[in-house]
Amino acid sequence: MKFILPTQHAPKTETQVGELRISPNKRVKIETESMTMYWDSMIIESSGQDWGIVNEWLTFHNIIFGDHISLDWYESQKFNSDKLKEEGICNYLVDYLDISSKVYFPNTYPEALNYNDLYKKYIPQPKENKALVKNYFNSIGNARVISTQRQIRNDSFWKVLILFSIIESILGDTPKCSENIKCNVHGNIYPHNNISPREWIKYRLLEIISDPQRVDEYFLVIWEVRQKIRHQTVHEGIIPESHYIQQDKREITWDWSKTTEEWQTNSTAFSNLNNHLSEIARNLLLNKIFGLNMFPALRPLHSVTIRSN
């Protein structure tokens, strides 16, 4: 087996990862209907023809680097090295002996992180953990139109629920009370929550992260999604649709207050909310699987727009 993958994180030198041999290749050009993209690429080789091994490695590669490029190409109908046009040497090769500056980019992990050592930790993970990683890269897709005026379908809120389900799984269910509640209509009610979901989420975040300031930052995003998207989307099936809104300023800085006010109608604000939730889910996953115990501050929210006139 031998094939080429575009990636943001090709190795500097040939690297043996389990049964796969990964080597740097060339800078490649990918053309779509709407744009042309340039990426580094790597050559993947193995003595066998087991795609299950490749699937497992690529899942690991993508969660470690947050690298969607290779996964998108691998699963696409264009998966064919003939369709990748070489455009010179790779520009951003990574030293796999220490990928600490890439895992939480632009933050840096305080210790050296060896790519192969992390892969060895990933392989024996229980299937439940690996399922969470695969779910992180899931999406709900449908046909898209260029014109926002002609857009009817909007699945963006369902995509957020995929990320939220990962976070819920890591935090666990709210503990139940061992006692019954008496009701004049329904009689004994059991089970019921021992503490409120709000208290439970805060408690679990503090247990995992320990930094109260970071917990507060993550909690605001999680609770916003739980109360205003999860419940309405799952239980009511009727959700607001965020659309692109032309701005009259060249640069808009989105803080959390502005995001929470506008995400239900403004697609840029909703994208910011989604990006924050994605960061939180990935950070919790990296800690659960690899025990890295690093929870960076969420990246600044901002959007740059250019006037149309």
Alpha carbon 193 to its chain centroid, in Å, reads 30
Residue 308 confidence (pLDDT): 47
Residue 116 confidence (pLDDT): 96
Computed on alpha carbons and rounded to an integer, the radius of gyration of the chain in Å comes to 22
Q: What percent of the chain has pLDDT over 70?
A: 87
Q: What integer is the mean pLDDT of 43-67?
A: 93
Asked if the model's pLDDT at residue 175 lies above 90, the reply is: no
118 phi, psi to nearest 5 deg: -65, -40
Q: What integer is the mean pLDDT of 182-203?
A: 77
Least confident among 87-96, 135-144, 245-254: 245-254
Token code pair at residue 144: 């898209």
Q: Tell me: the pLDDT tens digits for 239-276? A: 767 777 776 656 677 788 888 998 888 888 898 999 99
Asked if the model's pLDDT at residue 151 lies above 60, the reply is: yes
pTM of the model: 0.88
| List of residues 6+ apart from 106 with CB closer than 8 A | none
Domain residue ranges of the chain, discontinuous segments joined by +: 2-124, 148-304
Residue 83 confidence (pLDDT): 74
Alpha carbon 299 to its chain centroid, in Å, reads 14
- Alpha-carbon distance of 205 to 281, in angstroms, equals 12
Residue 195 confidence (pLDDT): 81
CA distances from 247 to 197, 266, 300 (A): 38, 11, 19
